[in-house]
Amino acid sequence: MSSGTASEQDKKALYWLGERLIDYRHPVMFVVLVVTGFFAYWTFQLKLETSFGDLLPQSHPFVQVHNKYAGSFGGANNIQLMVESKEGDIFTVPTLTRIYKITEEMDRVYGVNHNQIDSIGHRTTRYLRAQSGGFLKAEPVMLSVPKTAEDATAIRRIVHNTESIYGILVSLDDHAALVRANFIEARLDHRRTFTEINERVIAPFEKGWIGALIKGTDPLHQDQPAPAIVETIYRGTAAADAGLKQGDTIVSVDGKPVKDRTAMAAVIAKYQPGAAVTLGVKRAGGSEQVESIKLTIPERDLQLYVAGEPRLYGWVYSYANDVFWIFTVTWCAEWILRWLYFHDWRGALRPSITGVIAAFWGLGFVHLIGFALDPLILVMPFLVSARAVSHAIQMHDRYYEEFERHNWNQRKAIVAAFA
């Protein structure tokens, strides 16, 4: 048999099969529906998740070494957060305080390895201090937030004299600091990590910053409510100009109730710098009366940049719903184009049914063999379905040609198009 042609025996076999499929079309349709229903059930059990280990060749010696020592020296699921000062250096009391609090919040993100966080505000980042008798003592760079300018100057001196920090965790021009965190692969939840970093690490200290340090959740009692209590007011800031005082509790922003620092930052972050908002405040001293305070949203003096594999997948997951909406709109547009091509609703509908069946069978089989759907390959099911629809359109087009050639005999046209 030459390429692209079929022998008479093959043609007879195809014609015979086509005739039998028509003769037993109802049982065949029933079997197809049952199998499609079976795969459709497993399709809806398919999870959209990423397993970093599945992306690596586990038999490769480099990967095996990585798996062996990841628990001790850190794995591949790292997030790097850079804190950059827009004006001046980072060695000021407000900026160092925010770096310390950003590190503190990063340490509370679900799945983080608490012993593999690198930041000048973390307990594992230490410098050597010489003591009497020739002893060396390793002490944290920042035991707590700095209180005075002298404290900030002392931290600058420590950083500049420590080669493992200067130029690595703090830029050589003193304008930026790095917070690096490693996540435990078995506990990594990309959606939760992405959300917690946005709401708890970034928003309160970047776009949600008003010039006052707001008390956060107690790490020992994270299940208890932590109202937005003003902990520290910094001079020359929007909070100081508005008349906020230490111990005040912020209960609302422009009439929207806020239950904690995270909720307050989420509302504040929506406003542009220079916008005026009204804060509902309960003054320190136990008074339940709520006062209204006018606050002008300050210019952003810090810029936060986040990178890393978990962050990338967080962005992909955040846009996953948009991908499905785009797919739905595209599918409807294709249906209209098919109708314009065939001028027949059946010619538009049948290829769509074929595409849906192909998608159910393919995705259901993926789940049955033990795989999940990685968000980075979301386009693949769409491409497979598109090819199935394309072949169905070609066969349908062929059917109409055979329908005319066989003097509008439907059975002969179906068999000829199939064969």
User: What does the DSSP 8-state code read for residue 298?
Assistant: P
Q: Residue 291 forms beta bridges with which residues?
A: 281
Residue 104 pLDDT > 60: yes
pLDDT band of residue 223 (cuts 50, 70, 90) is low
Q: Is 64 left (phi over 0), alpha (psi -120 to 50) or beta?
A: alpha
- Ranking 143-152, 294-303, 341-350 by mean pLDDT, the lowest is 341-350
| pLDDT tens per residue, range 371-419 | 887 777 777 777 877 888 888 888 888 888 888 888 888 888 878 877 7
Q: Count, in order, helices (H) and strands (E) of the chain.
A: 13, 12
* pLDDT given for residue 394 in this prediction: 84
**Do the beta carbons of residue 155 and residue 120 sit within 8 Å?**
yes
Closest residue by Cα to residue 280 from 233, 228, 241: 228
The residue type found at 325 is W
User: E strands, 141-248, where?
Assistant: 176-183, 212-214, 228-233
Instruction: Report the run of H or E that residue 36 belongs to, with start and end.
Output: helix 25-43
Q: What is the CA radius of gyration of the chain?
A: 32
**What percent of the chain stands above pLDDT 70?**
94
Q: Is 370 left (phi over 0), alpha (psi -120 to 50) or beta?
A: left
Domains of the chain: 8-44+320-418 (no CATH), 73-190+300-318 (no CATH), 207-299 (2.30.42.10)
Token duo for residue 74: 């850190």
* Cα–Cα distance for residue pair 219/107, rounded to 1 Å: 10
Token duo for residue 296: 């002008």
* Cα–Cα distance for residue pair 414/412, rounded to 1 Å: 6
- Mean pLDDT for all residues in the chain: 86
| pLDDT tens per residue, range 331-340 | 888 888 888 8
| pLDDT tens per residue, range 252-274 | 999 999 998 999 999 999 999 99
User: E strands, 69-175, where?
Assistant: 78-85, 112-118, 126-131, 135-140
* pLDDT given for residue 169 in this prediction: 95
Residue 303 pLDDT > 70: yes
Residues 6+ apart with CB under 8 A from 80: 178, 179, 180, 306, 307, 308
| pLDDT tens per residue, range 187-216 | 888 889 999 999 999 999 999 999 999 887
Residue 342 pLDDT > 60: yes
Instruction: Report the run of H or E that residue 280 belongs to, with start and end.
Output: strand 276-282
**What percent of the chain stands above pLDDT 90?**
41
* pLDDT given for residue 2 in this prediction: 45
Between 93-106 and 149-160, two packed helices, what is the crossing angle to 10 degrees? 70
